[in-house]
Amino acid sequence: MDTSIDMDSLPAGLGGIRPLEIPATKYRQGQREMYDFTIPLSQLPQLIAKRPDPNEPIDGNRKVDLNRAKAFAKYLTQTVSWVSPAIIVRAPSGEVDFSAVKEFPDGTAWGVLSIPLHVLTEIILLDGQHRTLGVFIALDDLNRRIAEERETQLAAERTGDDATAAARGKEVAKLRARREKIANEHIPIELAVVSKEVAKQMFVDINNNAKGVNADFTSFLDKRDIINEIAVDLADSHPLLSGRVESGQSARMSPSNPNFIGVKGLADIIRALHVGVNGRVGARVEDELRANREAATQAASHFLDILVAAFPGVDAVMTGELTPVEVRQISMIGSVTMLRVLAGTTHLLRQPERTGGKFSDEEIANFMRTLDPHMRAIPIAETDRFWLSTGAFIAGTRAPQARQGSLSSLSNALVTYAEDWRTGQVSNT
């Protein structure tokens, strides 16, 4: 028997631990040696061996917000047209090699960046740790689900349950295809060859010079969210809002803003109207609202009509007799937090399973008229039991607290008040 081995057929470098080699562009920025390259998402955990840990902040970086990372993971797995800026990392000086293939007169070069495997644990995140952890979470979740479905499939095969085995096999194939699709998408990386102290200063400089996006402007632009779409539509179409909604393009919403409300505040009100003051719009509700968009928009429009009918201050804004700033000075009906509570209250009052049946829009408007004198009682006096008994106010303030617990307690208190009003236990004046 011929036991000889054809050495020429073996891969080059077999038996040795090879460094990570990546096509890259070399350039200089701030007197630093920098490299720009892209990698598949599946390789990000290989490049960044130190997974961001919410319980252990990276030296010189902020603490990771796990919920924010999970939100990016969800965005990544559910959004076909996802987008991400570059993740910025550092490598210690003298530990990476670059072989230039083409150099250019402007000082940049194309070539191969070589990172020894033992250096990967020293690749530290400077910017993008939430996106990085989000990628880890997305891949981990898909791997976990594939393993669970595969085990169920194998168990079904062992017991002869062909229907379950076939169904789980299809699910495994679907999850693998999704993982393959995500894994083969790319993300840009910027690698700086600097010391730890320089890296800390880079992090500070990045954040000091970054301008955050106004939440109103984000809501204005985000067309994937049906609530935002309805808000933008109403901002143009309802007479109370037309020309009085802050888009966030040039200013932030504040008590001195000449507009009645910001786009984000309007979206929060519409969301509260449909799912409650602290409710969330999940995939099922999103699909229902999108399928019934006209009705959802009309329901929100009717709520705005109720506000105009019930509160003279709101009506005065619509007719131009008072400015939004003037209304905020005399009534908490100008508070977006209070408007959100009223929307959540309306959501509860419209439920058909209520004792005595759901409230009609006319009933809700008539009930809210009884609140107008209380709305004008600002700042809240220490003797004001109407508002202070709800637990949502602090004496001396001009609006309810925006904490979830405060919003819920106030909304529930107003529902109870409305039911008492309906049964004649509360005066109409």
Q: What is the pLDDT of residues 212-233, one digit of tens each?
A: 656 666 666 666 788 988 998 9
pLDDT at 250 over 80: no
Tens of pLDDT, residues 8-39: 666 666 655 678 899 999 999 988 899 999 99
Confidence of residue 78 (pLDDT cuts 50, 70, 90): confident
59, pLDDT greater than 80: no
- pLDDT (average), residues 236-247: 90
Q: Which of 106, 126, 89 is nearest to 27 (CA)?
A: 106
pLDDT computed for residue 77 by the predictor = 87
282: amino acid identity, one letter: G
Q: Count the Cβ atoms, other than its own, within 10 Å of residue 276.
A: 18
The per-residue pLDDT of the chain, averaged, comes to 88
Q: List, for residues 161-173, the tens digit of each pLDDT value.
A: 999 999 999 999 9
pLDDT, mean of residues 226-249: 88
CA distances from 251 to 103, 214, 246 (A): 45, 8, 7
Q: Which of 6 and 423 is assigned the larger pLDDT?
A: 423
Positive or negative, the CA dihedral 415, 421, 425, 428 is positive
Q: Tell me the one-letter amino acid at 96.
A: V
Give residue-wise pLDDT tens across range 402-421: 999 999 999 999 999 999 99
pLDDT band at 252, cuts 50/70/90? confident
Region 229-239 average pLDDT: 91
